[in-house]
Amino acid sequence: MSFFPWVMIGIICFIVIKSLVDFIQGGKSHFRLKLKESRFSSEIFYTLLIIYSIVILGFGLIYFILSFQQITLVEHGELKQVSVFGSLIHSLYFSGVTLLTIGYGDIVPIGVGRFIALMEALIGYILPTAFVLRLVQTRKEHKED
């Protein structure tokens, strides 16, 4: 496996991890949440939507890059040759299904892709909890101000 795909995967992982850390810490980044009393906050909704989109795109790109290295996603139990665009669509679809813990089973990772899918599923499972904890913490800080 050449050096370039690993550099790209490293950059993607950095962006995904940085986004998650900024969201969870609620620091000085653009993910700082502002709440109004007992109202739905579109800002919170859009922040969570952006975080999920970044993670889905990030992992989708990782699966896509690995597909060029013969680490592929298997569809319905058989390897299928698809176009580059088809591979990108499969990768993004699989990433979304995995992150949202739906897991239809129509596309299955092989090789190191299994470990990557496991990490993505773990993030998808923990992210809502982190969101609720961040929401409670932000409301508490808002009430103290």
pLDDT, tens digit (0-9, with 9 covering 90-100), for 57-73: 999 999 999 888 776 77
Alpha-carbon span 123 to 17, nearest angstrom: 10
Model confidence over 124-143: pLDDT tens digits? Answer: 998 888 888 877 877 787 77
DSSP state of 36: -
Whole-number average pLDDT of the chain: 80
Q: Tens digit of pLDDT for each residue in 16-30?
A: 888 877 776 765 444
Q: What pLDDT score does 17 carry?
A: 84
Structural domains present in the chain: 3-31+39-144 (1.10.287.70)
Model confidence over 90-106: pLDDT tens digits?
A: 999 999 999 998 888 88
